[in-house]
Amino acid sequence: MRGCVFDTPHSQVPRSPGLPQYSTGPQRSSSTSSRPLAAELPKPPPWKLRGTDPCVPVLGQEVVVGSREAFHYVPSALETAWTEQSRVGQICELAKKQTTDAGLWLNYSQAVFQPTPGVPSRDPGPEEAKVLSYFLMGEDKKPHWIEPLSGIARNPHSICMKSADLFDIRYLILESFCGRPGPKPIVRFFDLGCTSNAGTRDFLNVNYQQGSGAGPSIPLFFNMYKDRCLEFDHIYGWEAKSQSVSAWWEPLPDHIRERVRYYNVPVNENSCEETLGKDKYASKGSFLRMLPHAAKVEDFVVLKVDIDGGPELQIVESIARHPELSALVDEIFFEYHFYFDGIGFGWPPVTKERNVDTALDLMKRLRLAGIRSHFWI
């Protein structure tokens, strides 16, 4: 999944006319999967605040790309409608205008959501392709489709249109390794906020076709990626709330237990002032410290961050800022808790400085760093 860097011609893939095409990734001619030495890594830009919230930077921070294969990210017109101007106070207004295009997006994402295990998903049709964003990766010259970023930050037909459930995750378009040449990479899943596995009847065969993200996340993600030829080799789970140890482990078969590391403690990070302003990570229990010890650039790394009231922005902003961290992550699922034009979701209180613009900006910067970023529920 990583290593050889190739500059892909834009003319060989479909794109919507007039859309900006972002080309990022260090151009390296040799085939290598090793990380550059720390001294060779480019430095992240200075941390500049947008206002008084120490966790929120100015919009459009420079993205420094780490050691990964060359890529191009192409956002759709549906996405750029959200990201090219401020949308504070306009979330439902714009979402309703995009109802038809969002329907095309969902038509494709729902069709490929629970694929036939081991079989590549179909390509989108011409009308569907117009509303989807995509990456070009390495030498394959084939679009790797991904759902467009939207200020709804979940199913685009939920909340404002109320025609989809709040926890319906069938808006997601995940990466797949099915049909690719070569061996599967080592796949690592880090779940920051994994809750319990209780209620899982068959860990290896979870039927997720209905698309509810409200249940246990580890069985759900394991099966979603297994069906896409990216079965997890290593699973790391954190949960701050005290859990019954026996209930947590009971659904896991023995050959899966061997792959799992479970931490029934909170993820520990310093404040945003320390973590982001001074690049000082917590001395113990820090995910940011642990990640470079656990993962390698050539691994395929999936990260879910959903820590209500926890150090979410310290972690995700650090990954977006630091190339030595972003190079280790391939796909991230993040529930950004932000001020949603006065609509409440039961989240802990957040300042209005964390709004639809700052949420979209962070998710866009992650994609420009080469990470498939998804809003989580």
348-355 LR contacts (CB < 8 Å, sep 24+): 348/308, 348/309, 351/53, 353/50, 353/51, 353/52, 353/53, 353/56, 354/53, 354/55, 354/56, 355/88
Is residue 224 assigned to a domain?
yes
Angle at 319 between CA 235 and CA 217, to 5 degrees: 30
**Count of the separate structural domains present in the chain:** 1
Is residue 169 assigned to a domain?
yes
Average pLDDT (166-180) is 95
Is residue 37 assigned to a domain?
no
Percent of the chain with pLDDT over 70: 89
Could you give the C-alpha distances from 187 to 50, 250, 278, 288, 296, in angstroms and in order? 36, 23, 31, 18, 10
Render pLDDT for 110-161 as a digit per residue (tens, 0 to 9). Answer: 999 999 999 999 999 999 999 999 999 887 778 999 999 999 999 999 999 8
Please report the pLDDT score of residue 20 as a whole number.
38
Residue given tokens 């990766």 in the structure block: 137
Q: Is the pLDDT of residue 101 over 60?
A: yes
Is residue 220 assigned to a domain?
yes
Print burial letters for 40-72: b (CB count within 10 Å at least 16), e (below 16). Answer: ebeebeebebbeebbbbbeeebebbbbbbbbbb
Q: Is the pLDDT of residue 306 over 60?
A: yes
Query: Domain containing 260: what range?
Result: 10-31+47-375
Is residue 227 assigned to a domain?
yes
Least confident range from 59-73, 193-207, 284-298, 322-336: namely 193-207
Render pLDDT for 244-283 as a digit per residue (tens, 0 to 9). Answer: 999 999 999 999 999 999 999 999 999 999 999 999 999 9
Is residue 39 assigned to a domain?
no
CA distance 243 to 217: 15
Render pLDDT for 55-99 as a digit per residue (tens, 0 to 9). Answer: 999 999 999 999 998 999 999 999 999 999 999 999 999 999 999
Please report the pLDDT score of residue 33 as a whole number.
34
Please report the pLDDT score of residue 209 as a whole number.
83
